[in-house]
Amino acid sequence: MSQFDYIIVGAGSAGCVLANRLSANPQHKVLLLETGGSDKSIFIKMPTALSIPMNTEKYAWQFHTEEEPYLNNRKMHCPRGKVLGGSSSINGMVYVRGHAKDFDEWESHGAKGWNYQTCLPYFKKAEAWLLGEDDYRGGKGPLGVNNGNNMVNPLYRAFIEAGKEAGYSVTNDYNGEQQEGFGPMHMTVKDGVRCSTSRAYLDPIKTRNNLTVVTGAKVTRVLLDGRHAKGVEYALGDALITAKADKEVVLSAGPIGSPHILQLSGIGDSKILEKAAIEVKHHLPGVGMNLQDHLEFYFQYRCKQPITLNGKLGLISKGLIGAKWILNKSGLGATNHFESCAFIRSKAGVEWPDIQYHFLPAAIRYDGKSAFEGHGFQVHVGHNKPKSRGSVTVQSNDPAKAPKIQFNYLQHQDDIEGFRACVRLTREIISQAAFYDYRDGEIQPGEHIQSDEEIDEFVRQAVESAYHPSCSCKMGEDDMAVVDSETRVHGIAGLRVVDSSIFPTIPNGNLNAPTIMVAEKAADMILGISPLPSSTASSFVHPDWHHQQR
């Protein structure tokens, strides 16, 4: 038995933030538990090696979904970070906050006090934007954010120019006033090295005497005294250890881990718990429900000029890139290669962007392999405001057995139509004059894919997860809400959930930035600190969004 004030379960994107903020007061004794281990691998630190940790058992839970009925019964890969820094140590490092309206939407779903004006100060608190602080960007936070190699490859700027030629706006900062449009993309890289939350928030404070970090710890359940969380039980090697929390237990195990731990602890839908032979401690039907994710596919083209990363896939080229990065943390090793992007609306009548683009000057899979000979480029595109909903459900009272994951991708007709728009709008963009000197034939989907039926079948076969699971312990006040607007689990004292699982709806963008923001804001709530003053900064919405798509 060990005793602490706060116990944080999961040293990931949220957990490292909480460990930093809660242990800032030397009077608070904090325990941070993480199943994974060290994040010091070169493959985690080097931005260009991003595909390696994501696909490595040592650093990531290699979850897979059940057969997805609307994706031709494919089982989809769902990796989650299992290392200090969590998914911020295995992700693509793309920094996207989401549109201002995404957070207003949260508040409309019952998350009181989580609108854009109240969230923006916490985005700023977290960030050290390379260009400095303004009304939208933070300059003094722990999290380094920049644009990689500043779009040296001409294909990045060709993509932005093509969007402009197609009639879309150009935005210099999609994380500022205007998300909608084409522009440079931002990444969590600092001095050429991945800036995970472990590096940004945990490394500087590991020597605090009041902070205990335990790796290799698998939490099996939250310990309850009636309707009060009193601590956790966790396995460490062959030992089963009990840790007591005098103040609170905070689950930051992510959108798969947090609902699973709640269910293992007897908190969840009683029917699901009884089926798994788990004693029901508190019937809370929303646990594990409302699961959401982003899907995407690669739109690939051959390139006329030998300027793409496909020419850098040989062992000698990789060796030179690695050597330059090791020596001075610069060059192609210091970027995730997603250096330009876009956010557009799929059709008139959509108020804020629901389609996202990541542009890459290569035609290549996530495993780093090329599917063809020669040079090419691709743009990752996805419909980012899905209406399909899934679930995470415990299958057994054995904590070692993974939960059942079912997203029900493309269950909703609006999601299908959103991907049809992705195909047709992307083709129009890439057909612009800006790509004339580069574009040399469509590799994927292939020019023969034209009708709605052909597009739908291509999407079902080719679409992949963008690795943004979320919303499985949603915040709100309705019958299916799991936590309240203070991140406290409904009906259980001394227990909170703070990670992307508490998002009511998924934002239009990558999820690392909003997860960090949620942890920054929740830390003040946990400590009883007055929230940062609300921002008065405005946000852009197309003045005629009812009638114009661009």
Q: Which residues are annotated as a binding site for FAD?
A: 83, 91-94, 219
Alpha-carbon distance of 294 to 468, in angstroms, equals 6
Q: CA-based angle 7:19:517, to the nearest 5?
A: 115
Alpha-carbon distance of 502 to 499, in angstroms, equals 6
Give, in order, the Cα–Cα distances in Å from 171 to each of 276, 285, 320, 427.
Answer: 50, 42, 34, 21
282 is catalytic: no
- Give the type of residue at 532: L
CA 265 vs. chain centroid, Å, equals 26
Six token digits for residue 238 = 């062959």
With beta carbons less than 8 A apart as the criterion, state whether 411 and 360 touch: no
Q: CA-based angle 493:28:525, to the nearest 5?
A: 50
Q: CA-based angle 255:261:262, to the nearest 5?
A: 95
3-state secondary structure of 23: coil
Q: Give the torsion sign (CA, 221, 393, 526, 123).
A: positive
For residue 217, the surrounding DSSP H or E stretch is: strand 217-225
Q: Which residue in the list 99, 358, 380, 468 is annotated as catalytic?
A: 468
Q: Which residue ranges are tagged as binding site?
A: 83, 91-94, 219
Alpha-carbon distance of 504 to 473, in angstroms, equals 8
Residues marked as catalytic: 468
